[in-house]
Structure 1
């Protein structure tokens, strides 16, 4: 992956093409869901320079510690298994998207929103 993931259409297109990813809706917005769990992995965000990355609390804390300029949160996401990711270079975001799809796919199936 050499293309920068510098906006929602680029992130969405990359993630939609990954194994186990399906396009869906989450709270009314465009989302990438993991199959077979039907769990959200990526959603568009309210922040103009970021998208929402759904991941467990342990990975969330690690990513925010490792790269706080890329992975961050507003008070809205505190205590919730999601964080904001600033658009930019493809690596390591693409790797984390792939990993999040794997993690979400292994969870029990979620009923539709």
Structure 2
């Protein structure tokens, strides 16, 4: 699943919108980023809760991984050549559900 395919899937979900995250194209739900490009070739970033992130890296390290940049943050890298795109879609659903359950971010003061 490429980043473009993951974005298309995420945007098909109710409550999501095309946006930006740190200047890059992203998908947000309720104002919170759920999907963004990774800085590492062949991977994209899924913003998800820490417990799920740790479980994914433990159960499928060939697909879900991190660099030191993501250590301690609720985001995991997803390799585009995953053999289980259904699980990736399920995790995008989970990230969207988590974002919808949170309060919207407060507007930034200018």
- TM-score relative to the length of structure 1: 0.87
What 5-or-longer segments of structure 2 have no aligned partner?
none
**Of the candidates 59, 62, 68, which is equivalent to residue 55 of structure 2?**
62
Change (3 A) 1:40 1:112: farther
CA RMSD of aligned residues (A): 1.4
More helix by share: 2
User: Which segment drifts farther, 85-94 or 95-104?
Assistant: 85-94
- How many aligned positions are there? 106
> Which of the pair has the greater relative contact order for Cα pairs under 8 Å at 6+ separation?
1
Q: How does 1:1-113 map to 2 (within 5 A)?
A: 5=1, 7-35=2-30, 38-87=31-80, 88=82, 89-111=84-106
Q: Distance in 1 between matches of 2:21 and 2:34?
A: 10
What 5-or-longer segments of structure 1 have no aligned partner?
none
